[in-house]
Amino acid sequence: MHYLCRVNFDAYARTAVDLVNAPLDDLSQLRAVLPGPDWMCEDATERDLQAFRKAQRRLREVFEHGAHGREREAVEELNSLLEAHPVHPRISGHESGNWHIHVTSRGSAVSAEYLAGAVWGLSVWLCEYGSARFGVCADDRCGNVYLDTSSNNCRRFCSERCATRSHVAAHRARKKAAVSELASHSKAQLKPTVPAQPTLTPVG
C-alpha cells in the first residue's frame, strides 16, 4: 500500500471497509482484497489470513458501535486496535528504487502492513467526522459496512443495489398486506349474515 506518499487517510479508511465486507474463507478471497499488483498478494500466508479474520471481527465492532451511537466504545476499540497494529513508517523502493512509504517496519507481515494502515485511516476518519458516520447496511441480508459521506448523514444502505432491493421488497410487502386486507374484507362480506329473527310478541 503506497497511499502514505500523500497521506491519503480516506484511502486507508476505505481499506478497513473493504476488509470488513470481504469474504475470508480462504487465501484466494483474501488476495482479492489486497491492493495489487504488489508484494502483498504474493506474500500473504495462512497466518495472515488468521490475523485478517480477527481484525475483521474487531473492525466490524467499531462500525456497529458507531452506527448505534456508542462513540466511546468505538474509540476504545480503535485505540486497542491501534496498539495491536502500530504504524511504523519506512521508505522502501524494493529492488526498483521507486521510493514510497510503507506503514510498517522491514520484514513485517502482509497483515501487519495492511492492518496498520486500515486502523490508522479509520481512526483519523473518526476524529475528523465522528463515529456516527460509521454505518451498517440496513438490509439485514447484507450487513456490509460503509462510511457515510452524505451531506446530512442520512445514508442507510451500503450501496444503490441494497437501497433499491430494500425499497422494492418494502413496496411488495405493502402491496401484499393491502391485498390480504382486501381479501379478508370481502370474505367477511361473503359470510352469510343471519337475518334477525322477528320476535313474536304474544298478543295476549
Cβ proximity to Zn ion, 42 vs 76, nearer residue: 42
Give the one residue of 22, 27, 142, 163 binding Zn ion; rule: CB under 5 A: 142
d(CA 180, CA 176) in angstroms, rounded, equals 6
Contact between 158 and Zn ion by CB under 5 A: the answer reads: yes
Bridge-partner residues for 145, per DSSP? 136
**For Zn ion, which stretch binds (CB under 5 A), given 57-65, 81-89, 151-159, 188-196?**
151-159
Binding residue for Zn ion (CB under 5 A) from 33, 56, 162, 166?
162
CB-CB contact of 133 with 155 (8 Å): no
Any idea which residue has 520484514 for its cell?
107
Grid cell, residue 192, equals 352469510
Residue 179 CB, shortest distance to Zn ion, in Å, is 28
Instruction: Check binding of 144 to Zn ion (CB under 5 A).
Output: yes
Cβ(108)–Cβ(115) below 8 Å: no
Cell of 126: 473518526
User: Which positions from 36 to 75 touch Zn ion by CB under 5 A, shown as an x/- string?
Assistant: ----------------------------------------
| Residue from 4, 51, 119, 137 binding Zn ion (CB under 5 A) | 137
State yes or no: residue 145 binds Zn ion (CB under 5 A).
Answer: no
What angle do the packed helices 110-129 and 46-67 form, to 10 degrees?
10
Closest CA to 74 of 24, 14, 10, 136: 136
Nearer to Zn ion, 46 or 160 (CB): 160
Residues making contact with Zn ion (CB under 5 A)? 92, 137, 139, 142, 144, 158, 162
